[in-house]
Amino acid sequence: MDKILEGLVSSSHPLPLKRVIVRRVVESAETPLSQAQCRAMFALSTRLVLQGPDPFQRQVGRQVLEAYGRYHRAEFEAFFNRGLVLGLLQRGYGELSNRDPAILDYIQAGLRLIMSCPSVLELFELLQVEALRLVCERPAPPLCARLCQLLGDFPQCLPRGRKLSLAFCQQLVRSIAHFQSQGSREAELRLYVSQVTQVSGLLRSVWKAEPDTLLPSLQELFAVISAADTSFEPSVALASLVQHIPLQMITVLIRSLTTDPNVKDASMTQALCRMIDWLSWPLAQHVETWVIALLKGLAAVQKFTILIDVTLLKIELVFNRLWFPLVRPGALAVLSHMLLSFQHSPEAFHLIVPHVVSLVHSFKRDGLPSSTAFLMQLTELIHCMMYHYSGFPELYEPILEAVKDMPKPTEEKIKLILNQSAWTSQSSSLPSCLSRLSGKSETGKTGLINLGNTCYMNSVIQALFMATDFRRHVLSLNLNGCNSLMRKLQHLFAFLAHTQREAYAPRIFFEASRPPWFTPRSQQDCSEYLRFLLDRLHEEERTLKALSSAKTSESIMNEESQTQEPVHKAQVFAEAPCRGSEERTLIEKMFGGKLKTTICCLNCKSMSQKEEAFTDLSLAFCPPTSLENVGPKSVERSEMKDDYVVQTNTLAASPAGETPLNNLEVNGGCDTISEGTIKDFSTEPNSENTTNSELNKVQDNRDMSQRLVGKNTLSVTDLLNYFLAPEILSGDNKYYCEKCASLQNAEKTMQIVEEPEYLILTLLRFSYDPKCHIRRKILDNVSLPLVLELPVKRATSPLAVVSGGWSVGVEISDIGENLAKKLKPSGADEVTCPQLVPYVLSSVVVHSGVSSESGHYYSYARNVTGSGPSGLCHQSTALPLVFPQDKLLTEESPCAVVENELDTEMPREWFLFNDSRVTFTSFQSVQKITSRFPKDTAYVLFYKKQNSTCGFNTNSANGLWVNGDPPLQKDLMDAITKDNKLYLQEQELSARTQALQAATASCSFRPNGFDDNDPPGSCGPTGGGGGGGFSTVGRLVF
């Protein structure tokens, strides 16, 4: 059969006839053949595949090989053995070189045929070694791409083990650096780009499967592009790797590069120049992001000589890339940054001025929407530069004439762009890299360095630190020898209180307190972090107390039975010996309150009660004024559990112009409760048909709600009223009454029966949009009362139901068709009113942005204690929970009177904590933040109970307390003293170094000062805050 086939394919018969005969030969593969016949067919088909003179013979070889290999698998397994594959890879086949991609094509086809055979494992081991050898020989793009395709289809052939895998990735990076295009025609360039994409795609797969190989690969990449060898120019194809580097690593990598003393200025300049050359690589993503980040990083560490040299060397090349639409977006971004940051001299701008007019005319001739959009951006950039470097009319007149019909930015916008783009304004992007010759600000407070989108933690920590009584309790704990989270918090609080540094990097505490589901270097919800932190501290203390109690009991038994010697043991998490396992934890003492839930069956009037602990109350926004239209906005899920309904609802964002319901007054503020289900006007409480009296009650409440919408701005009081509103369980949410033995309409109420020392209120601003499937932010302004009274109905008798377990937070997010039931007056309320407990505002955490996954957090705070000068003893005009309606609609609220009085009597009392920066501010600034910056809204509020010292004696007899804080433990004080000495040494060294640089530098440009005038919600030039990075990565060594 092999002789017939060989003669046929080389004969001069017509091609159609040959195809018919070949089809017959392929079909005959199903017939039994001897081992020798099979081997002959395999040898012939292999020769045709690898040495066939024309495409027809090569195609015939592939068809015959596949057919006979499939039906005679055992014989093919014996033929396609280790010796054959090794010979092909090392010696080739006849005249065919071993570096021909056809060799890999044949091997891949053979692997497919024996995938189910045991011998394939031996071939996988062979190919793992050969693949590494091949990439070390710097294969050309076609062969390297074919190898990567084989390895992608058969990942079992990838080198295994950490050393071999690292070596493979590093050598593959080196191979890409040697790639060169073999032609200049479009088809050849497209093929070249596809081959490079194939290789970079394999590297991405390896990095994803084995993350440990990413960092060494990037080290190898930097080593290649920073080499000063003029005889070798790395290929621009290396740009294809950038798009596969996670953007989350950008801050850490750039910080490591710019601060590594092993990276010389010449190497950094070379690497940056080559990265800018990568802008010409088509389809490469994020190249401009990395280039701009590196430019900002160099500015942050004041390496201005590199920036000047690179800008002057590459500015014209970057400008020329604007002619090519495929790479225009990235080139324009880099050009804008280079020009706007190069503000000490017009030299860079004047290098591109002669080329601007021709480019503008080219954009106009295109007439494409994309070209018009780019022209507008370019025009704005040119206007900024001409404004900054005025006085050259002979150069600028042709440009002004060319862009005269384009929009011109305002002077205010130009100034803003220039101020934000200067090299000196980049100083906040990497604050931990700077040796700033300044200590604490005039506030005496210490900032927290942003470790990479950790502003959510920084804002919460500063709010907790400014909770004076809590801070003093934490600092007074005896935690020697304990490695708990509370110990780390004590360490952090001690440094915030006593360090001389302007800002402290909380790396250890961040790693210890970060929830495991939080992605590092990405923005998170500060409220979720706060709950997790308090829960961790509570559970940790409770566990340690239980262990301490068990050890104490064991030691007492040992004393009675074995010895009379006293045994002294250190008490953990206690300022005095533990009084038993039932003693409340510090978190419970400071932030713990209790809610009593009551459910009353509206049929038999039987009641069920339960107490729950909470650390914060989550306040949903009041519904919009048009109550009839809110139903479709709800997303609700309910389930029957523990004899009453557990609700999970999501609040939809209100349209911007819509006025929410301002205040819901329920029984004069007495006996009001909460939990977030949404209510429906059409639902009745007792029977299938609503009675007239009940409809009248609902209508009265609707009329009342419509009278309350006259006030434009919601207040925390309004949200708290909405929280403390009764709820009718009906329809799908009916309550299963054990007495009635059936589902019944019921009324659910919640009352605060035990108030916390610190009341934490979370405003539920993030709502789920069911149409777009995203979480939107409610940007409504909310008035913050400086003094608030919380209605507390303390329990006078034991509850009939056993108290529930510890719960961190009670979330209420109520909207939808059942919303109107919130207005239903309670029929089971008692006559007595709860006691009003006064609270004063302590801290406000602000979120700047439009979604929970992005933006920036900062906080306002002040020192507030239960008594003393900062305790705010202005109680005669404390804010009531519910105002009379005429006061709401016509007069200034008591809250405003109290706020004005307190704020004027205590100037410079408030502080603004914005990561590393701490400044004085006022309560008026806190109240007006949203009106000044619409995306900046209060999110988490801390209120301190008045006239309460938490059982903590602040008058120390030993005179060692500082500002009312207790003296530190010796090991903490020693650590702070050591760090302060180190800080002074750093200042001295920095001063000497900067003086030496100023005297010897060839460039006279040395920007001075730091621009700290960003808006409160700014995360700095990097858009997410920079900062120290992670200690787990350390620095890169290249």
**Counting beta carbons within 10 angstroms of the beta carbon of residue 39, is it exposed (0 to 12), middle (13 to 18) or buried (19 or more)?**
middle
Query: Does the active-site annotation cover 473?
Result: no
The token pair that represents 458 in the structure block: 């920084």
Q: Which of 109, 122, 35 is nearest to 74 (CA)?
A: 35
- Cβ atoms of 598 and 748 within 8 Å: the answer is yes
DSSP labels, 16-28: HHHHHHHHHHHHG
Residue 965: φ, ψ to 5°: -85, 150
Query: Does the active-site annotation cover 455?
Result: yes
Catalytic option among 337, 383, 538, 856:
856
DSSP labels, 938-982: EEEEEEEETT--TT-----SSS--BTTBPPPPHHHHHHHHHHHHH
Q: Quickly count: other Cβ atoms within 10 Å of residue 224's Cβ.
A: 21
| Long-range CB pairs of 316-322, under 8 A, 24+ apart, other chains included | 316/351, 316/352, 316/355, 317/276, 317/277, 318/276, 318/279, 319/352, 319/355, 319/359, 320/355, 321/279, 321/280, 322/359, 322/374, 322/378
Using DSSP, state whether 97 is helix, strand or coil.
coil
- Cβ atoms of 429 and 1020 within 8 Å: the answer is yes
Q: Rounded CA gap, 59 and 501, in Å?
A: 74
Residue 922: φ, ψ to 5°: -135, 165
List 838's β-bridge partners, or say none.
789
Q: Which residue stretches of 743-812 are H helix?
A: none
**Counting beta carbons within 10 angstroms of the beta carbon of residue 329, is it exposed (0 to 12), middle (13 to 18) or buried (19 or more)?**
middle
Sign of CA dihedral 1006, 1010, 1015, 1017: positive
DSSP labels, 583-651: SPPHHHHHH-EEEEEEEEETTT--EEEEEEEES-EEEPPPPBS-GGG-GGG-EEEEEEETTEEEEEEEP
**C-alpha distances in angstroms, 40 versus 33, 36, 792?**
11, 6, 95
The token pair that represents 18 in the structure block: 């040959």
Written as one letter, the residue type at 1033 is V
Written as one letter, the residue type at 876 is S
The token pair that represents 436 in the structure block: 């700033």
Using DSSP, state whether 753 is helix, strand or coil.
strand
Sign of CA dihedral 923, 925, 931, 935: negative
Helices (H) and strands (E) counted in the chain, each on its own, are 34, 23
Catalytic option among 157, 433, 455, 600:
455
Place of tokens 């619409």: 934
**C-alpha distances in angstroms, 144 versus 100, 284, 579, 871?**
10, 19, 72, 73
Q: Rounded CA gap, 652 and 776, in Å?
A: 8
CA 482 and chain centroid, separation = 31
Residues tagged active-site: 455, 856
